[in-house]
Amino acid sequence: MKKLLSALAISLMGFTGTTALADYPERPVMMMVSYGAGGATDFQARIVTMTAGNEDALGMPIAIINKPGAGGRVGWNWFATEADKDGYTLAAYNIPHFIAQSIKGGVDYSADSFEPIANWGADPAVFVVGKDSEFNSMADVVDFAKANPGKLTFSGAGLFVGHHIAALQIEKAAGVKMAYIPTKGGGSAAMKAVIAGDVLGGVNNLSDAYRAVQAGSIKILGVADLERNAFLPDVPTMKEQGLDVDNASVNFRGVMVPKGTPQEVIDQLAATVPEMFAHKKVAGKMKQGGSPMHIMTRDEVKAMWAARQTTLEELLKGL
């Protein structure tokens, strides 16, 4: 009887032992967004995680917490150094921001500090000018910049973010010197500067620029991506206009966990999260909000991170 009981106990222990992981997640999961509430990343993170509680997704809700500051550095520093590595703490990543920041230095993280899970969105940078601007194509912009070196002012949301990368790439591709004006207060402050005529042009998010075009206040001259965007089928890419600019500045957003998270948890998340993003309710809300979706699996994201690392290292070398 004793033997039987102990055998039973051992088998039960084994049972609970395996189910502990199989049951992941058994409580709500937290996701850190390193930008403020109401920003594009926060807004999209809330939409793409809204179905997490469904049985076919995680079965547990995902709660968003914001740790904004210093262009995302505060949140990612916290995530790399202090976050629990148990799979209950996820974070949103923004590429190229965090990789560019880590190359520039002064932060506690690099691409090796995190494990990607899946990508949900891709918001390319676009070049915008005011609605009454004399510029009607990237060629006009480049011609002006060639005739007036360093005099073409154009805004973007801070340094070492997608906008800044696109600005550097455009300058490099056209072989011109322009005056990049970083603004405090994100993409909307940079957009305001363009609409108000404080600057001659600007680099901004496709999603925000799309809304501003609908509002009739700007013109979009080019998309810094490999292909034209479904939201703006009439706007040519930089490449089509003779500027050798790839998709290194596209703002990819997705989910990651800190390095050291159990492999089983990573595998489980990598399997379920992309499907969660693909939920039609999520896709519908994202489309309504003018936010371009781009779902990528863990392996695809890994490759993308590695490619960005190389491109950005080269681009930022001279700075």
The residues of the shown chain that bind another protein, judged by CB under 8 A, are 36-39, 42-43, 46-47, 50, 65-71, 73-74, 77-78, 81, 104, 106, 108, 150-153, 158-160, 179, 181-185, 188-189, 191-193, 195-199, 208, 211-212, 214-217, 285, 288-291
d(CA 35, CA 43): 10
Task: Return the number of the residue (114 or 210) whose C-beta is nearest another protein.
Answer: 210
Task: Return the number of the residue (74 or 232) whose C-beta is nearest another protein.
Answer: 74
**Which CA distances in Å does 208 have to 5, 93, 166?**
65, 19, 16
Q: How far is the CB of 80 from another protein (least distance, A)?
A: 11
Strands 179-182 and 251-258, bridge-based pairing: unpaired
Do 67 and 75 form a contact (C-beta atoms < 8 A)? Answer: yes
Q: How far is the CB of 315 from another protein (least distance, A)?
A: 15
Do 99 and 93 form a contact (C-beta atoms < 8 A)? Answer: no
Q: How far is the CB of 27 from another protein (least distance, A)?
A: 17
Q: How far is the CB of 72 from another protein (least distance, A)?
A: 10
Task: Return the number of the residue (50 or 139) whose C-beta is nearest another protein.
Answer: 50
Report DSSP state, residue 231: T
Nearest to 243, CA basis, from 314, 310, 146, 156: 146
Packing angle of the helix pair 263-278, 280-288 (nearest 10 deg): 60
Query: Is residue 218 within a helix (H) or strand (E), and if so which, with residue range?
Result: strand 218-223
Token digits of residue 60: 């547990």
Task: Return the number of the residue (14 or 36) whose C-beta is nearest another protein.
Answer: 36
Q: How far is the CB of 198 from another protein (least distance, A)?
A: 4
Task: Return the number of the residue (164 or 298) whose C-beta is nearest another protein.
Answer: 164
Task: Return the number of the residue (84 or 299) whose C-beta is nearest another protein.
Answer: 84
Do 174 and 168 form a contact (C-beta atoms < 8 A)? Answer: no
Q: How far is the CB of 19 from another protein (least distance, A)?
A: 30
